[in-house]
């Protein structure tokens, strides 16, 4: 089910790549991750049951081209569900609230039976959510069309009895047809979202989010892992614990990296002059930006204020000022602009000189007037 987050004016839609074992669901998502044109993109994740030989791939992104849904940006969450994953809990986790599907069919003649079985399983999974295959946005991708025994797409569609769906021929491992397949589906999803916002509520399921923030990719994966752990009756079935464990695993992965330099950034706006940071509320990645949400308090003890610092991943015009790893210098904020002294006005005459000048002027005026009158 697509989700509308009013606070961010963003709609999130879910896409699942599904196919028979070996058809190329995972290959499609991995290749798509490297090819799709994005304004913002998460990391590529893999997750699945601990005892499974295959795993699902997942990432989310906001496309470069906006405006598909006027007034909103669109975020697509992309999953793969390879046919080798037989765990029912995992299948339902991936398929629940799906908005659009790419059915990956295998062009190789020996895989015809696997294609038909995968289509049956997909129909059953949708029916379990109360959805009808005929009303779901679906694109069929015929993968492995470069194989020596590849059948023509028309023959495969006839065998699947699915001639009414858009069809794209592809070789996922090389990238051929991957973007075309995805574009077909995202355009259809965008059209249905526009129709829903215009009052055609049966075009697609759209629900308003009660959250103020968009769920991050790590949280999405942690939520799925928590459900899988709960199904396996492990003691770590709590969502908060799963998120914490996931983030801890990421931290441990990067702890072996050599510590880098510290970069001093003048980050405080003028109205926060005299404030100091007292608490870190949140820090998160948003595309190529780092958002740090901090609480600031005045040194004089006035009430706290919140401030979000946004670090943009681009070079600055002036050379960066870096310092070796060590204690972080205290934040002092921006200094006031340099005060340029105003030159003093020209010196004036003392007041008594004005009296002297007035007296001389009076005498001269009297003498001149007497000569004019008495010759």
Please tell me the distance from the alpha carbon of residue 152 to that of residue 171, in angstroms, as a whole number.
14
Residue 12: name the closest of 56, 46, 64, 63 by CA.
63
* Rounded Cα distance, 187 and 209, in Å: 23
Angle at 288 between CA 210 and CA 272, to 5 degrees: 75
Instruction: For residues 81 and 48, give the distance between their C-alpha atoms in angstroms, rounded to a whole number.
Output: 10
* Residues 123-172 pLDDT 10s: 998 888 888 888 899 999 999 999 999 999 999 999 998 878 999 999 99
**Cα end-to-end distance, the chain, whole Å:** 116
Give the pLDDT confidence score for residue 320 in this predicted structure: 47
| Lowest-pLDDT range of 129-133, 178-182, 237-241, 298-302 | 237-241
Per-residue pLDDT at 338: 46
Whether 117 has a pLDDT exceeding 70, the answer reads yes
Average pLDDT over residues 19-39: 94
Going from the C-alpha of 268 to that of each of 286, 292, 315, 332, the distances in angstroms are 20, 12, 19, 9
Q: Are 105 and 138 in contact (CB under 8 A)?
A: no
Which pLDDT tens digit goes with each residue over 31-47?
999 999 898 999 999 99
CB-based contacts of 364-372 (< 8 A; 24+ apart in sequence): none
CA distance 22 to 139: 18
Report the chain's mean pLDDT, rounded to a whole number: 81
Provide the token pair at 228. Answer: 């899988």
Position 93 pLDDT exceeds 70: yes
C-alpha 360/C-alpha 43 separation (Å) is 93
Asked if residues 13 and 75 have their Cβ atoms less than 8 Å apart, the reply is yes
Confidence grade of residue 322 (pLDDT, cut at 50, 70, 90): very low
**Does 312 score more than 90 pLDDT?**
no
Helices 217-231 and 88-95, interaxial angle, to 10°? 150
Backbone angles phi, psi at 244, to 5 degrees: -60, -45
Window from 2-16, 91-105, 287-301 with minimum mean pLDDT: 287-301
Region 299-310: mean pLDDT is 78
Q: Which residue has the higher pLDDT, 318 or 181?
A: 181
More confident residue, 265 or 138: 138
Of 117, 32, 115, which is closest to residue 78 (Cα–Cα)?
32
Secondary structure (DSSP) of 298-347:
ETT----EEEEEEEESS--SSPP-EE-SSPPPPP--PPPPPPPPPPPPPP
Average pLDDT over residues 2-24: 91
pLDDT band at 335 (very low <50, low <70, confident <90, very high): very low
pLDDT at residue 142, as a whole number: 97
d(CA 227, CA 214): 20
User: How confident is the model at residue 317, as a pLDDT?
Assistant: 60
| Of 178 and 162, the one with more pLDDT | 178
pLDDT in tens, 183-223: 999 999 999 999 999 989 888 988 887 676 778 899 999 98
19 CB-near residues (< 8 Å, 6+ apart): 25, 82, 83, 103, 104, 105, 106, 115, 118, 143
Q: What is the C-alpha separation between 89 and 48, in angstroms, rounded?
A: 10
Q: What is the mean pLDDT of residues 235-263?
A: 62
Give the Cβ contact number of residue 79 at 10 Å.
Answer: 24
Give residue-wise pLDDT tens across range 50-65. Answer: 777 889 999 999 998 7
- Report for 93-97, 269-273, 298-302, 349-353: range of highest mean pLDDT: 93-97
> What is the CA angle 194-36-151, rounded to 5?
95
When pLDDT is averaged across residues 240-258 and rounded to a whole number, the result is: 61
Supply the pTM of this predicted model: 0.65
How much is the pLDDT for 119? 94
Cα angle: 70, vertex 41, 71; to 5 degrees: 10
If we measure between CA atoms, which residue out of 308, 94, 78 comes closest to residue 213?
308
């Amino acid at each position: 089910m697509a989700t509308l987050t009013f606070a961010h004016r963003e709609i999130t839609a879910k896409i699942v790549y599904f196919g028979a074992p070996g058809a190329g669901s995972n290959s499609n998502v991995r290749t798509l991750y490297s090819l799709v044109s994005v304004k913002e993109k998460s990391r590529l994740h893999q997750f699945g049951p601990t005892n499974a030989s295959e795993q699902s791939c997942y990432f989310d992104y906001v496309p470069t081209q906006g405006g598909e849904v006027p007034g909103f940006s669109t975020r697509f969450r992309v999953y793969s569900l390879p046919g080798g994953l037989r765990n029912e809990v995992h299948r339902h986790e991936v398929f629940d609230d799906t908005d659009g599907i790419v059915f990956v069919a295998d062009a190789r003649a020996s895989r015809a039976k696997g294609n038909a079985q995968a289509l049956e399983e997909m129909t059953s999974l949708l029916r379990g959510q109360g959805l009808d295959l005929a009303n779901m946005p679906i694109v069929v991708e015929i993968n492995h069309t470069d194989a020596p025994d590849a059948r023509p797409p028309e023959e495969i569609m006839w065998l699947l009895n699915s001639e009414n769906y858009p069809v794209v021929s592809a070789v996922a491992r090389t990238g051929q047809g991957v973007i075309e397949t995805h574009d077909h589906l995202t355009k259809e999803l965008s059209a249905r979202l526009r129709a829903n916002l215009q009052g055609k509520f049966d075009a697609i399921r759209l629900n308003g989010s009660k959250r103020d923030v968009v769920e991050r990719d790590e949280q999405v994966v942690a939520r799925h892992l928590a459900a899988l752990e709960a199904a396996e009756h492990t003691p770590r079935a709590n969502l908060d614990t799963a998120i914490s464990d996931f983030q801890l695993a990421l931290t441990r992965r990067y702890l072996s990296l050599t510590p880098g330099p510290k970069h001093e950034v003048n980050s405080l706006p003028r109205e926060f002059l005299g404030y100091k940071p007292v608490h870190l509320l949140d820090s998160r990645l948003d595309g190529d930006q780092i958002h740090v949400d901090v609480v600031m308090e005045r040194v004089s003890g006035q009430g706290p204020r919140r401030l979000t610092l946004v670090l943009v991943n681009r070079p600055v015009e002036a050379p960066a000022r870096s310092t070796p790893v060590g204690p972080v210098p205290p934040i002092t904020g921006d200094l006031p602009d340099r005060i340029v002294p105003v030159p003093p006005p020209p010196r004036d005459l003392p007041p008594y000189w004005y009296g002297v000048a007035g007296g001389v002027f009076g005498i001269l005026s009297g003498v001149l007037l007497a000569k004019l009158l008495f010759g």
